[in-house]
Amino acid sequence: MVAIIDYGVGNLFSLKSSFALIGKSAVVTGDPDIIRNADHVILPGVGAFGDAVKKLRESGLFDVVKEIAAEGKPLLGICLGMQLLFDRSMEYGEHEGLGLISGEVRSIVPVLPEGSDVPHMGWNSLTFWNSCPIFRDLKEGEFVYFVHSYAAFDCERSLAAVTEYHGVPLTAAVFRGNVFGCQFHPEKSGETGMKILKAFCEI
């Protein structure tokens, strides 16, 4: 069973529906015991980093996520959920993250050409950086769907894939052991996204 962590951030039911499409059982839950007993865990998220990490702490799930990661259970952060995996974010001040992957989340504005559209929103291709199990069924250059204004930096050791936006490479996916992160939304990325979720479930 896949546990999709519900800590009050984001629409989680389209994500749950994606697992139904690939024949995998998934539950949306904020219950620590259900999350601990799941085979795989998803950390979703939309919105601002500071608000999300506050809700994660207030729900008591901040430490639960760290616990399951330490146990070796497969964990996938999606969009803001991926950003929460990092040491810190500089979005509207400095905020401490889960510290499961080394790096920092910062605005993409300073690295883009002046006048670039932000947020980065739409379909962009993936360029693989290191071999990652969740991309086992993908070919170089497949397209996935992004919506973000902040990205992970200083994370080369954990980099799985990048995407190019206005000629600038941005972190698209990371992994470290059993912890994975996608800046894009697999559940909104059609057949390619389903391949990613299926591969994650089979780790």
Q: Shortest CA distance to 97 belongs to which of 84, 107, 106?
A: 84
User: Is 126 within 8 Å of 141 (Cβ atoms)?
Assistant: yes
Q: What are phi and psi of 142, to 5 degrees?
A: -65, 150
Instruction: Report the distance separating Cα 189 and Cα 192, nearest Å.
Output: 6
Q: Which of 142, 182, 187, 201 is catalytic?
A: 187
Listed residue (157, 151, 202) closest to 175, CA to CA: 157
Task: Kindly name the residue from 40, 79, 148, 155 that is annotated as catalytic.
Answer: 79
Query: Residue 180 forms beta bridges with which residues?
Result: 76, 175
| Spatial distance between the Cα atoms of 158 and 69, rounded to a whole number of angstroms | 15
Distance of CA 123 to the CA centre of its chain: 16
Catalytic residue among 132, 182, 185, 201: 185
Q: C-alpha angle 144/162/12, rounded to 5°?
A: 45
Sign of the alpha-carbon torsion through 146, 147, 149, 155: negative
187 is catalytic: yes
Instruction: State the catalytic residues.
Output: 79, 185, 187
